[in-house]
A and B are shown apart, each in its own frame.
Chain A
């Protein structure tokens, strides 16, 4: 059973479109992180959200942490081919453990 459920698992859209990726759980996390992973590389941290309801923006990427700290979303505006990759959400449990979702594989077609 996956503690963090990401949806969709696969997404293929055209350049310029907007998209949202969801990360849901029945558990509460002290914080939630979003990573991006390229083939053959380790995950790279994009953002950490800590407070329920928090919204963070990173250029065309908008991250939101749910009020109850159980879910999060990543919204990309005007997607570019360079946004292609595997997006992972990860919940921090206590101080020691990062629990990952299964990832969303995003493809942006030119």
Chain B
């Protein structure tokens, strides 16, 4: 158990819909990272938050947004869903950034868009 909790574990929804994925980081970790893993793309970095503020952005679509709340949990919002958004979405957390520290990954949310 990494200490990072993601809910829900599985999500099936229709195209055009909007979903929210939730992540609770390890106790004491200030940074949260979101990644998308699909079969043909590997793990793609989406976005990072540190203590409530956005710190780094990767290949995140405009239809996707995220935030980190004062209690440090984070949510990833995916809207106007397309079939190609079907993937595993992982959240990871670390104490600060990644320099000299490791990131711990949750078990992921498997999103299926039908």
Chain B min CB distance to A107 (Å): 17
The answer to whether A8 has its CB under 8 Å from any CB of chain B is no
**Interface set, chain B 93-114, CB cutoff 8 A to A:** 96-100, 102-108
Chain A min CB distance to B74 (Å): 15
The answer to whether A28 has its CB under 8 Å from any CB of chain B is no
* B4 interface neighbour in A2, A42, A98, A101, Cβ under 8 Å: A42
**Interface set, chain A 40-65, CB cutoff 8 A to B:** 40-45, 48, 50
Interface size bracket, A side: 20 to 34
Chain A min CB distance to B31 (Å): 8
* B56 interface neighbour in A30, A42, A96, Cβ under 8 Å: A96
Q: Bound state CA distance, A39 and B41, in angstroms?
A: 16
Q: A48-B102, A97-B56 provided; 12 other pairs, C-beta below 8 A?
A: A2-B42, A31-B98, A31-B100, A40-B108, A42-B92, A44-B105, A94-B56, A95-B96, A96-B56, A97-B48, A98-B45, A100-B42
**B-contacting residues of A (Cβ < 8 Å)?**
2, 30-31, 33, 35, 40-45, 48, 50, 88, 90, 92, 94-103
A-B contact pairs, 15 of them (CB 8 A): A33-B102, A40-B108, A41-B107, A42-B105, A42-B107, A42-B108, A43-B43, A45-B103, A88-B42, A92-B98, A95-B98, A96-B55, A96-B56, A98-B92, A103-B42
